[in-house]
Structure 1
Amino acid sequence: MIVIAVIAGAWAWISTLFRKGTMALLGFEQVCVRQFETVLLYRNGRFEKALTPGRHNVRANGRQLARIDLRTEVFRLTQNAVSADSFAVSLIYVARTQIVDPRASFESTQNYRDEICMRLQSVVKAMCSRKPRLDIQTDHQSFSHSVQKAANQVFRSIGCECLTFELMQVETAGPAIELDNRRTGLAARASGGVAEKGALAAM
């Protein structure tokens, strides 16, 4: 039995040597970081360092890795808002973003994509409230530049950057007050119709 155990141990040692190299025998693990990403290394839950593209020998004991993709991402959103002159507008826009601070992006939010969408929509809503409907419809470039500048300010805390913002399409649904009144009227008529049917049924 002792001989079998020795043979098994020797085979495991040789197998590890061929598969993972000599560093694995010393308690290290090889980590490959691709060209378009950064790997954050945490040791027992604490940040230690960021690994750049290439191969790294990392001590395996107590380590956790987080791979952060640094490639640009495209968000295409449709959003309703109200202009400064109280017109309801529907916008279609495209934003290109990129992570510039991997650690901040990873540690500041559980899902940075959802965070980007939420913050971007808030910026667009605020920008629409400052500009009249005609300016939004006719000067896409100025509106896009203003949103991109404001978005970069709110993205900084989550380690992201807005590379481009392009307003693709703007449609006007009419004055926001009129739309609210129209919806209120429709709701009132609908509830009145239900009440009338209930009265007829009771008769």
Structure 2
Amino acid sequence: MGELLGSIAFSLIVIAVIAGAWAWISTLFRKGAMALLGFDRVCVQQFETVLLYRNGRFEKALPPGRHRIRAGSRQLARIDRRPEVFRFAQGAVSADRIAINLVYVVRAQIVDPRAAFESTQNYRDEVSIRLQSVVKAVCSRKPRLEIQLDHQSFSNSAQKAASQVLRAIGCECLTFELLQVDSAGPIAELDHRRMGFAAE
């Protein structure tokens, strides 16, 4: 009976050793020798930056290439730095109190990955809101006729203002193109029409 128990115990030990050796060899082939010392391999693409946080605190930004980082309490945030296109159809009011509808396209890009990640939960939504605010502000300083006839001047002013505003969230306005401007009439007329509809 004692020999049987000893034989079973020996078999279990042999199985455990084989399983451990297999796990060790498997890790060695899949992740490399450094993985056995507690390091993970991280591959960063050419168009992105990976932010490394340890225990909730920023440690460093990993540039494109292969990196070995120590495993543990860490979080990786992959930030895509390729330019992104935003298209808007927006209403605004010109300096001479004319309601206008604008269609424009903006190319924006993340230039400070850490600021973009830490300053807002969704940087795309933040970019959209800030761009629309910039366009309203630029419209309020230009008469309707100038906006309609000189798209390039408006686009240049809007791009410059947008880059200043987006810098706070780690982004930059690369291009701003005003595609179309339609007049909706004086603000007073629109207000009267709305009041007429409300009365009806």
Amino acid in the other structure paired with 1:163: L
By how many angstroms is 1:180 displaced? 1.1
The whole-number CA distance in structure 1 between the counterparts of 2:114 and 2:70 is 20
Q: Secondary structure at the match of 1:29?
A: strand
Counterpart position of 1:141: 152
Percent of aligned positions that are identical: 77
By how many angstroms is 1:46 displaced? 0.6
1:86 aligned residue (81, 97, 101):
97
By how many angstroms is 1:62 displaced? 1.0
Residue 157 in 1 paired to residue 168 in 2?
A: yes
1:38 aligned residue (36, 40, 49):
49
Q: Deviations over 1:91-121 (max 9, x none)?
A: 0000000000000000000000000000000
Residue 97 in 1 paired to residue 108 in 2?
A: yes
Q: Secondary structure at the match of 1:107?
A: helix
Counterpart position of 1:170: 181
* Residues matched between the structures, number: 189
Runs of 4+ in 1 over 3 A off after TM superposition: none
Amino acid in the other structure paired with 2:47: F
Counterpart position of 2:198: 187
Query: Normalising by the residue count of structure 1, what TM-score does the alignment of the two structures yield?
Result: 0.92
The whole-number CA distance in structure 2 between the counterparts of 1:63 and 1:86 is 54
Q: Deviations over 1:35-89 (max 9, x none)?
A: 1000001111111111111110011111110000000000000100011111110
Q: CA RMSD in A?
A: 0.6
Counterpart position of 1:11: 22
The whole-number CA distance in structure 1 between the counterparts of 2:189 and 2:90 is 19
